[in-house]
Chains A and B, each alone.
Chain A
Amino acid sequence: MSQDWPLFEVFIRSRAGLEHKHVGSVHAADTRMAIEHARDVYTRRQEGVSIWVVRSSDIVASDPQEAEALFEPARDKVYRHPTFYAIPDEVKNL
């Protein structure tokens, strides 16, 4: 039965102030059911305070074939990492 239902990707915000993170997927007949299924499957142990669901078919993904073109050019640009700064001792949470 659930195989007849569309797939939804589930994103959970674990605490206020943090971002939603992808945690998995559920089958559901509609968005309301998708929220309920996500709640029942992924927040049983107090994992979340907010849920997003989105139809998997609505997600546009990058093509693995293009991975080199998309991601390789960043490899030799280490200067983009903020590792060349001396961090003052007073700054705790950088």
Chain B
Amino acid sequence: MSALPAGAAPPEAHFRYVLRLADTSLILGQRLAAWIGHAPALEEDLGLANLALDLIGQARLLLTYAAELEGRGRDEDALAFLRDAPEFSNLALAELPNGDFGQTIVRQWLLDAWQLEMYEALAASSDPRLAAIAAKALKETRYHYRFSSGWLVRLGDGTAESHARVQRALDDLWRFTTEFFTPDEIDTHMHALGVAPALAPLAARWAQRVAADLAAATLRHPQTQPYPWHGKRGVHTEHLGHLLSEMQHLPRSYPGVQW
């Protein structure tokens, strides 16, 4: 998906802004759901499934709203299951593979901390519908963050092996966080309308929270690196297409199929 076309009507930017939030929740939820039956313990299996269900629930609310803003007759299912990878606008970090449990935890923790800031700010949005969705999602996200930051510290400050694995995952994934708070035209435009928050203050709070957790987990803070992916603008890694082929297989093979 390219940048906002010149002269695009505000509803188009509004639609895309909500769609980005929806897609990050949807793709991360889909990723987490793949842990079901494979987590290191029964209790973790349920825990990760709970997070996945929360995220997919957020995605449903946001996709339904995005579909209404778009006003072209698509519904939440059409947006979730009938778009191709370049039309998805999730943060690229959400689509990265689960890896080992440590990598899943690092990915989750980075995104939970991002969602915490975003939903807290969006709960005060001038868009009442978005504010209501954010207020509901914020409660869920506080638990997600509690879960993932607890595991980050447990693994980082755990055994030599758990520390090494989490540090490696952190070093691998860190470059994908550059996208979190880098505003583009849509972010700027929606902020001007009071719908979206300014990203700079959120970035500072996020960085502070993340640094404190890393210190508690005895992990080394990675260096910021050049960043070639722009998930929210539709520029994805090769992993998203594989994820979508699995997620979209059924509704595409059997259009209109009912459960």
- A residues near B, CB below 8 A? 1-2, 5, 26-30, 32-33, 36-37, 39-41, 44
Q: Dominant SS at the B interface?
A: helix
Interface extent on B, as a size class?
A: 10 to 19
Task: Give every chain A residue within 8 A of B150 (Cβ-Cβ).
Answer: 32-33, 36
Interchain CA distance A29-B47 in the complex, whole Å: 15
Judged by a CB distance under 8 angstroms, whether B38 is at the interface is no
Task: Give every chain A residue within 8 A of B42 (Cβ-Cβ).
Answer: 2, 41
Judged by a CB distance under 8 angstroms, whether B238 is at the interface is no
117-162 of chain B: CB within 8 A of chain A: 143, 146-147, 150, 154
Judged by a CB distance under 8 angstroms, whether B246 is at the interface is no
Q: How far is the CB of A47 from chain B (nearest CB, A)?
A: 14
Interchain CA distance A27-B154 in the complex, whole Å: 15
Contact A26 B43 (CB under 8 A): yes
Q: How far is the CB of A77 from chain B (nearest CB, A)?
A: 44
Judged by a CB distance under 8 angstroms, whether B41 is at the interface is yes
Judged by a CB distance under 8 angstroms, whether B7 is at the interface is no
Contact B50 A1 (CB under 8 A): no
Residue from B43, B146, B154 within 8 A of A37 (CB atoms): B43
Contact A36 B46 (CB under 8 A): no
Residue from B41, B50, B146, B147 within 8 A of A27 (CB atoms): B41
Interchain CA distance A2-B50 in the complex, whole Å: 18
Contact B147 A36 (CB under 8 A): yes
Q: How far is the CB of A49 from chain B (nearest CB, A)?
A: 14
Contact B40 A40 (CB under 8 A): no
